[in-house]
Amino acid sequence: MIDIISLLPDALANKIAAGEVVQRPASAIKELLENAVDAQASQIMLTIKDGGSNLILVKDNGIGMSITDARICWERHATSKIKKVDDLFNIRSFGFRGEALASIAAVAKVEMKTRRKEDAIGTQITIADSKVLKQEPLQTNIGTQIAVYNLFYNLPARRNFLKSVSVETRHCVDEFIRVALAHPLIDFSLINNDQEVFRLLPSNLEQRFITLMDYKSNQTLLKVVENTDFISVNGFISTPTQAKKSRGEQFFFVNNRFIKDNYLNHAVFAAYEGLIEKDRFPSFVLNINIAPKHIDINVHPTKTEIKFDDDRAVYAFVRAVVRKSLSGLMANITPDEDAIAKMFINNDNKYPLPPKITLDKTFNPFGTAQNYSPKIHPNWEKLYEIAAPENKQEHLFLKLETQKNIKIEAVFVVSGIIFAKYAGKMHVINQHKAHLRILFEKYLFALQKHPVSSQSLLFPRTIILSPQDFELFITLQEDILKLGCEMHAFGNNKVIVNGLPPHLVKTNETDLLEGILDQYKLQKHHTDIAHYEKLALAMAQKTAIAQSHQLNDEELLQLVEDLFNCAYPTTDPKGEVIIYTYENEYWIQKFK
């Protein structure tokens, strides 16, 4: 019998590895740029031609390499970044697998010039198909420049697989942006087909984000910053009104490494819930700093995914800090100040809850934020100009302590669509959604600040629930009480009703309670929504008027006033639009 196993020749092994590391020009760019950052460069220049398929050139002024290192760095597993197993758990550099240069050299022709500060003369090396073609001394600047020609020239199938030049260019630019964003202190430039696309002078994160995202100068970002012993987050987020229809401006960095993480993205989106429409996305750049031992970045060779040892804690933290930052703008969200700090103090407290979000009765949603300029509904703050301190007549639904006196000039309704003239403008309002918003805010207020007092029933009533519903009721009983439903478990799946909220005394109690429980169950899987919000929404869903419900004139007026008194009159709790405001100019233009 002859032995049939043999070791793969290096060139072939490298080509196989390259399949993972270098999928397209952009992946080579990522590796080269990160190597330059690891080499402590303060200036990095990227030049590409034809989407990177014919030329990628990365020039840096970093530490450079010795003559020997310049040769050995092209070998697989050649790295200066880790030496022993322990180092693996303490990685702060980008590379560490020592695969990138070997992979690139396996699938392209590469030329490198490099010199260290301590060397009088540098070295130049040419490699193709994993073979060193020549190496010779050369006068060159301190730092390293690597040119990659004709990527995949020796793998025609791969080369043909590349997308159009414009698509590949887009990918290259995306990689460039990610690295440049993660390192605002480094001077970056990008030249595409002999044209300068970006010249980014050293600056701060905010400025770099604004430049890279091509924001108008009047657009402002909100700062996010929170530090604990376990984790810290800093960065910038867009205001809710700047939310865009398309994704693509969401950037997460963990220890300055760009990562894609839908779970974390969701944490941010969740923090915006109720503030933006459903199909819009906030822009953000958030940098998470966490001890390397709490993360595993070795899950994928291209290293854009990361595992946290406690991802739920990270999720809760991110959501909380973003929410906190938004609360600076939206005066009616006041996060429990200590909640974030407390989160990570007890280390046994594995799954901290996001901080409570409470309604501030002195809210003035748009007045407090200087830079807040709503785009869709300009001049909203005018709605509040005629604020009067005294209360109006008894509220139709539930009373808040601070109602502003809002003077609606005209109002009528057509099939549940309300047309209201207010502050000289026309507002078109969805009746059901408006009521949903009003009730949601009021119930949330009742749950978190001021319980609603119930109106006692003349004769107590009894509800029989299914065993499952009864279980759920027991867990919710105390909070349901705060909403003005005086209901108590009485054993044997029985609930005794002694009182109901004043505005609901006429409703059927069984239908009401079962409805609330059903609505609550529907949201059970939304682990990111706080319990109070779930219950407030459940109760609002159950008790909001239908679109077909006929309101009389007085009720109509009350509904519109209540809506304008809401913290977020423009979207319902699920993020759907409630109200469209038309500038008079709109109609003038329409009839031109």
Interface residues toward ligand ADP, by CB under 6 A: 31, 35-36, 39, 60, 62-65, 73, 78-81, 95-102, 144
Comparing CB distances to ligand ADP, the nearer of 143 and 335 is 143
Q: Which CB, 65 or 276, lies closer to ligand ADP? A: 65
Kindly write down the DSSP assignment for every residue of 171-229, as one continuous string: HHHHHHHHHHHH-TTSEEEEEETTEEEEEE-S--HHHHHHHHTT--TT--EEEEEEE-S
CB of 46 to Mg ion, least distance (A): 15
* Residues written for the chain: 592
Closer by beta carbon to ligand ADP, 55 or else 408? 55
Residue 199, strand partner residues: 189
Nearer to ligand ADP, 80 or 219 (CB): 80
Q: What is the DSSP letter of 286?
A: E
Q: Whole-angstrom Cα distance, residue 176 to residue 183?
A: 11
* Nearer CB in complex with ligand ADP: 79/265: 79
Least distance (Å) between residue 236 CB and Mg ion: 28
The H-or-E segment that residue 380 falls in is none
Distances (CA, A) of 66 to 32, 114, 123, 203, 290: 18, 8, 8, 31, 33
Per CB under 5 A, the list member of 48, 58, 100, 127 interacting with Mg ion is 100
Q: Which stretch binds Mg ion (CB under 5 A): 67-75, 95-103, 115-123, 313-321?
A: 95-103
Coil vs helix vs strand at 317: helix
> What is the strand order of the sheet 486-489 is part of?
455-464, 494-500, 486-489
For 74, list phi and psi in degrees, rounded to 5. -85, -5
**Minimum distance, C-beta of residue 101 to ligand ADP, in the bound complex (Å):** 3
The residues with which 233 forms a beta bridge, in sequence order, are 226, 288
Q: Does 35 bind Mg ion (CB under 5 A)?
A: yes
332: contact with Mg ion by CB under 5 A: no
* β-strands 231-238, 221-227 pairing: antiparallel
Stretch that binds Mg ion, among 30-38, 165-173, 175-183, 404-412 (CB under 5 A): 30-38
User: Which one of 91-99, 161-169, 390-398, 505-513 is the stretch in contact with Mg ion (CB under 5 A)?
Assistant: 91-99
What does 144 bind: Mg ion, ligand ADP, none (CB cut-off 5 to 8 Å by kind)? ligand ADP
Nearest alpha carbon to residue 312 among 267, 366, 361, 374: 267
By CB under 5 A, which span of 27-35, 103-111, 362-370, 377-385 interacts with Mg ion? 27-35
Alpha carbon of 284 to those of 66, 205, 303, 355: distances in Å? 40, 11, 21, 21
CB 8 within 8 A of CB 65: no
The answer to whether residue 95 forms part of the interface with Mg ion (CB under 5 A) is yes
Min CB(58)–ligand ADP separation in Å: 7
Number of residues that bind Mg ion (CB under 5 A): 3
User: In this chain, which residue has its C-beta nearest to Mg ion?
Assistant: 95
CB of 95 to Mg ion, least distance (A): 2
Return the number of the residue (35 or 265) whose C-beta is nearest ligand ADP: 35
Residue 122 CB, shortest distance to ligand ADP, in Å, is: 12
Closest to 432 measured CA to CA, from 274, 553, 543:
543
Q: Taking the complex as a whole, how short is the minimal distance between the CB of residue 440 and Mg ion, in angstroms?
A: 50
Judged by CB under 5 A, does residue 25 bind Mg ion? Answer: no
Of 8, 5, 7, 4, the residue nearest 106 (C-alpha):
8
> What is the rounded distance in angstroms from the CA atom of residue 219 to the CA atom of residue 236?
12
Of Mg ion, ligand ADP, none, which one sits near residue 519, judging by CB under 5 to 8 A according to partner kind? Answer: none
Residues lying near Mg ion in the complex (CB under 5 A) are found at 35, 95, 100
